Amino acid sequence: MRIGVLGAGQLGRMLALAGYPLGVHCVFLDRNSDAPTAGLGRLMVGGFDQPERLAELAGEVEVLTFDVENVPAAALRAAGVEPLCRPGLLALETAQDRLAEKRCFESLEIEVAPYRTVDSAADLQAALKTVGYPAVLKTRRLGYDGRGQRFIHHPEQAAAALRELGGIDLILEGFVPFEREVSLLGVRSPRGAMAFYPLSENHHAQGILRLSRSPAPNSALAETAREKVERLLVHFDYAGVLAVEFFESEGRLIANEMAPRVHNSGHWSIEGAVTSQFENHIRAILDLPLGRTDALGSSAMVNLIGEIPALGDLLAIPGLHLHTYDKAARERRKLGHATLVAPDDQSLEIPLKQLLRLTAGQR
C-alpha cells in the first residue's frame, strides 16, 4: 500500500519509518529535494500549489495525508484529489486560520481565550480595550514555533506589533495566565473507531517546544481534554491523528490551537506508548484497526534544537532513545529529539536531568 504525504519533513520521515513494518510506503511531495525523508520513499519535487503535481501524486497512492498543515485547500480541490485527503479539507482549512479555528472550538463548546479580529489600527485599539493587557497579537495564518506573534504589555507596543505582523488578517488574544500548557492527541478512522493518548505536559522556550512529559504529571483534566478532542474528531468526520493544545488555568482547559496531523508533543509515543502516533495515523487513514494508545510508563521527550550533542554523550544516558532527522544544523531548527521512558515519574528524574544538562543552552 502507498500513501502520499504532502511535505517531507521530520513528521513525514517518522511516518515513513512507521510504515515500513506494516508494508505501507510513502511517496512525498516537497519543494525541498534534500528533505529529511530522503531515502525513505520516493520524493516528488514540487509545490503544493501545483495541481498537476498533486494529481500525479494522487495517481500513485491510496490516500493523501499531511506532514504540514499549510497546504492550500483550493489547489487540492482544483486537482480533484479532495476525496483522497485524510484528514479532510475542512479540518485542514479550520486549522490554517486562527479565526475559523476559534469559532469552531466555540461552536463545540470548547473554551478559548477572549479574542478579537484585527485588520487595522482602530481594530487593535478597540480589541485591546475588550481583551485587556497583556495580550498577544497573532497572524491568522502561517504562524508556527512562536513565529507570527507579538506580546503587547503596554499600549505603546501596539503600533510596532501591528506593523511587524503586516497590519491585516490578525487576531488579538487575551493572555491566559496559565499554570501549564498541555496537549492531547486523538486518532480516528473513517469507520469511526477512536483512541486517545494520555495528556502531555509541554514546556516551550522562545516559542519552540523543548520538553514534553507524558502522561502529564497530575493529569486530573485528561478526561476533560479527551472529551473536547473527541468532539472535534466527530465534528470533522476526522481520519488520522489530531493534536489539540490547551492552557491549563485554575482547573480549566482553554483550547489554544489544533494541528490536523501527528504532533511534536506525541513523539514520546514511539517508545512510550503501545502504538506510536505515527503508526496509528497510518492505521487510521487506511481504515485499519487502531492500535492501543496506553502509556508504557512515564515518558519525557526533549527536542534537539540548533545542534545535536555528540552521539556518544547522548547514547550514554541510560535508556535514551535518539531520533535524528538528518537536517542541516541551524539556529532554532528542530534537528531531532530524544525520549526517555521509565516506570514512573521519579525514576525519570536522573536521566532527564542528564539529558537537559546536555541540551542546555540550545537555541
Of 10, 65, 4, nearest to 32 by C-alpha is 10
CA distances from 216 to 49, 94, 113, 294, 350 (A): 39, 27, 22, 13, 18
From 17, 57, 63, 209, residue interacting with its own copies (rule: CB under 8 A): 17
Q: Does 344 bind its own copies (CB under 8 A)?
A: no
Q: Does 292 bind its own copies (CB under 8 A)?
A: yes
Cβ proximity of 2 and 27 under 8 Å: yes
Read off the DSSP letter of residue 324: E
Least spacing, CB of residue 21 vs its own copies, in Å: 4
Q: Does 251 bind its own copies (CB under 8 A)?
A: no
Of 43, 60, 50, nearest to 7 by C-alpha is 43
> Which region, judged by CB under 8 A, interacts with its own copies, from 62-70, 102-110, 217-225, 286-294?
286-294
> Which region, judged by CB under 8 A, interacts with its own copies, from 15-23, 102-110, 180-188, 199-207?
15-23
- Give the x/- contact pattern for its own copies in 131-150, rule: CB under 8 A: --------------------
> Which region, judged by CB under 8 A, interacts with its own copies, from 135-143, 198-206, 209-217, 308-316?
308-316
User: Which stretches within the chain are classed as H helix?
Assistant: 10-19, 51-58, 73-78, 89-96, 98-107, 121-131, 158-164, 222-235, 269-272, 277-285, 311-315, 345-359
CA angle 340, 15, 77 (to 5 degrees): 140
Least spacing, CB of residue 26 vs its own copies, in Å: 10
> Which region, judged by CB under 8 A, interacts with its own copies, from 47-55, 79-87, 166-174, 307-315?
307-315
Which residue lies nearer to its own copies by CB, 126 or 274?
A: 274
From 315, 329, 350, 356, residue interacting with its own copies (rule: CB under 8 A): 315
**Residue 333 three-state SS:** coil
Q: Does 45 bind its own copies (CB under 8 A)?
A: no
From 205, 289, 353, 356, residue interacting with its own copies (rule: CB under 8 A): 289
- 71 φ/ψ angles, rounded to the nearest 5 degrees: -105, 130
User: How far is 252 from 84, CA to CA, in rounded Å?
Assistant: 37
Which residue lies nearer to its own copies by CB, 142 or 315?
A: 315
Q: Does 205 bind its own copies (CB under 8 A)?
A: no
Least spacing, CB of residue 297 vs its own copies, in Å: 8
Least spacing, CB of residue 125 vs its own copies, in Å: 50
- 261 φ/ψ angles, rounded to the nearest 5 degrees: -175, 175
Least spacing, CB of residue 141 vs its own copies, in Å: 32
Residue 54 makes CB contacts below 8 A (sequence gap 6+) with: 29, 48, 75, 76, 79, 81
Which residue lies nearer to its own copies by CB, 127 or 320?
A: 320
Using only C-alpha atoms, what is the Rg of the chain?
20
Which residue lies nearer to its own copies by CB, 49 or 349?
A: 349
Which residue lies nearer to its own copies by CB, 177 or 312?
A: 312
User: How far is 181 from 183, CA to CA, in rounded Å?
Assistant: 7
Beta-sheet strands, E only, within 125-284? 135-139, 149-152, 170-174, 180-188, 194-196, 200-205, 208-214, 240-249, 252-259
Least spacing, CB of residue 336 vs its own copies, in Å: 8
Q: Does 281 bind its own copies (CB under 8 A)?
A: no
Residue 194 makes CB contacts below 8 A (sequence gap 6+) with: 186, 187, 188, 230, 233, 290
Q: Does 288 bind its own copies (CB under 8 A)?
A: yes
Which residue lies nearer to its own copies by CB, 136 or 341?
A: 341
Residues of this chain that interact with its own copies (CB under 8 A) are 13, 17, 20-23, 25, 39-41, 274, 283, 288-289, 291-292, 296, 308, 311-312, 315-316, 318-324, 326, 336, 341
